[in-house]
Amino acid sequence: MKLSDEVKFAEFLGGIYKGFDKELSPAWIEVFIAVLKNYDYDAVIAGFYAHMKNTESGRFAPMPADIVKAIDGGGADASQIAWATLLKTLSQVGTYESVVFDDALVH
Q: What is the pLDDT along the chain (107 residues), one digit of tens a residue?
A: 888 899 999 999 999 999 999 999 999 999 999 999 999 999 999 999 999 998 888 999 999 999 999 988 766 666 777 778 888 888 888 888 888 877 666 66
Structure confidence at residue 49 (pLDDT): 94
Q: What is the DSSP string of the chain?
A: --GGGHHHHHHHHHHHHHHTT----HHHHHHHHHHHTTS-HHHHHHHHHHHHH-TTTTTSPPPHHHHHHHHH--HHHHHHHHHHHHHHHHHHH-SSS----SSTTT-
Please tell me whether the overall predicted TM-score, pTM, comes out greater than 0.75 for this model: no
